[in-house]
Structure 1
């Protein structure tokens, strides 16, 4: 029986080296885009492996394993005889990443990718074929690994250039925000955040934080709505989103801090106001209400006594017990379209 926590895509990605027909490069190393750590990556020596990962929890796991990381969305100057990639679900981002992988291949190099069957494996394989020509493949663990022949440039150079541009930063929300494919609700203000913004009061004051800030949608609204806010700290685990938040808040009227950080590990304290639309999925498809519960606990720890949390969440998620245990006063201000807006006040006799 397989471990329920096993990373099937990573295990399948490594199979061509363990069962043939591929060999790890003797020289020149390999680049791993959207890298994840796990036992399959360590079953055999992987000399010269360089990893790229923009999601902070995964990057930290790679670092703890002693693997070499480079900055995500690197300049692409270096070429490798092997480029590994775990493409994301979002199609434009996936195509851009496959194009980056082909562009990063040294002459005679290969691209090897893997996608779960229920996340578009056949489509991703066809995308790589369009870019690079004929591909080989194998299937295992309900995933599909597929790889190119030795490459000497793309099969379609024009398509490569077109797909590299798919992930470009652009203006969305009628020009009010900068965004790009792959980040949460990348081409719009999501309905949950819009509902929270609609109900935010204008009298929030003092030191504020946005936990899981994304591209800065809530943070921007807080600064526009609440003149009493004196400073604002954004905490976001996805580096690609945080870079966009910097751009979206470039003209902020107060000091703003940007932290590439996993909120579940805790944040600094002393805040008067916290806003958040906490994630309720991990890197997979399944719901993870434990993440939202941990966000609530972290918010309670980081607020001063009497401080206010304003959050939005899916109405069905079981957060009430955690809110009751962490805060002195809770009010539901709105319920609409499957979401709820909650204000929670930290009891004055609790904590820091």
Structure 2
């Protein structure tokens, strides 16, 4: 069990009634709650959603708070400060004055910083400090009006070879304030991507998806991400730039295994974080198995830190891997299925 869940169990007597668990870890916490606790879960991570579904838990996936009523909420601290503000605002808007919201997380995950974000909503006290974690209790002293999702967007402009794009990024989405270096290195090469059915794996705020749409109206873009806020951001980016939504298909995925088949190309600035942890599993699996989702002659385009061993993984799967660029600490990697090896 995660240390943050152990701290919740230590303070179990504070829990009562219908309790909403927000951003809960995928562990055994639910089975350790008393039978009189009616627990439900809100997550925006599709992997976590599927985990709790398999437990037959009451779980909601999306950017919005579940519609069902709840008496208390336990928030497991997310990595993003802006995302925590969004969560707290939405929870307080749903709860009566005097309600309880618990905040729990690891010290290395920033729980002490996060606890300061409770202050605008009421009185907050520290309940526990153990297992390198802290648990805080907020008693709300106000009600607030919920803000529309669009009001939480951060906008920034990206100059591309095909003109400027206006990017819409919701709280917690990768590269929320500015274009990241890896995508900036990749963008000039996207005009070389074959046209047709193209998957943007780990679409984030939709920079790559929007550019693929902008440069070729015949492209059909599949925006794939594990994060509901990323998927919503990509759709908002399309709408902001007046790009045709019929070109776009948004899909929540656990990994590249959920991508469509018979694609003309897969393009990715692949993800490497799972919460506050570095996790290369999704991107390494992409390198190893992407060709299963490509047509004959289909292409893989990846940008990644130059120190990663992705060229070797791609070469083992495709038989070859070409470095199209090596600059600012990133490599643009290309492979296609014309020289493919037989499936293992």
Q: Under a length normalisation based on structure 1, what TM-score does the superposition of the two structures give? A: 0.85
* Contact 1:209–1:275 (Cα < 8 Å) also in 2: yes
Ranges in structure 2 where 5+ consecutive residues have no aligned partner: 159-164
Distance between the aligned counterparts of 1:304 and 1:165, measured in 2? 38
Aligned to 2:288: 297
Aligned to 1:223: 213
Aligned to 1:259: 251
Distance between the aligned counterparts of 1:192 and 1:283, measured in 2? 20
Distance between the aligned counterparts of 1:205 and 1:225, measured in 2? 10
Counterparts of residues 87-166 of structure 1 (less than 5 Å): 87-149=77-139, 151=140, 153-154=141-142
Q: How many residues align?
A: 333
Question: Structure 1 residues 167 and 283 mapped into 2: Cα distance closer, same or farther (>3 Å)?
Answer: farther
* Contact 1:329–1:344 (Cα < 8 Å) also in 2: yes
Deviates more, 1:213-222 or 1:91-100: 91-100
Aligned to 1:83: 73
* Contact 1:214–1:236 (Cα < 8 Å) also in 2: yes
Counterparts of residues 196-345 of structure 1 (less than 5 Å): 196-202=186-192, 204-226=194-216, 229-250=218-239, 251-253=242-244, 255-286=247-278, 288-345=279-336
Cα deviations across residues 51-75 of structure 1 (Å, max 9, x unaligned)? Answer: 1101100111111111112353436
Cα deviations across residues 274-321 of structure 1 (Å, max 9, x unaligned)? Answer: 1001112222333x2332110123321111121111110111112122
Q: 2:27 aligns with which of 38, 50, 65?
A: 38
Distance between the aligned counterparts of 2:193 and 2:68, measured in 1? 51
Question: Structure 1 residues 165 and 221 mapped into 2: Cα distance closer, same or farther (>3 Å)?
Answer: closer
Question: Structure 1 residues 40 and 78 mapped into 2: Cα distance closer, same or farther (>3 Å)?
Answer: closer
What SS class does the counterpart of residue 242 from structure 1 fall into? helix
Ranges in structure 1 where 5+ consecutive residues have no aligned partner: 1-5
Q: 1:40, CA displacement in angstroms?
A: 2.5
* Contact 1:33–1:85 (Cα < 8 Å) also in 2: yes
What SS class does the counterpart of residue 201 from structure 1 fall into? helix
CA-atom RMSD, angstroms? 2.7
What SS class does the counterpart of residue 251 from structure 2 fall into? strand
Q: 2:155 aligns with which of 167, 171, 196?
A: 171
Distance between the aligned counterparts of 2:8 and 2:24, measured in 1? 11
What SS class does the counterpart of residue 275 from structure 1 fall into? strand
Q: 1:346, CA displacement in angstroms?
A: 1.4
What SS class does the counterpart of residue 9 from structure 2 fall into? helix
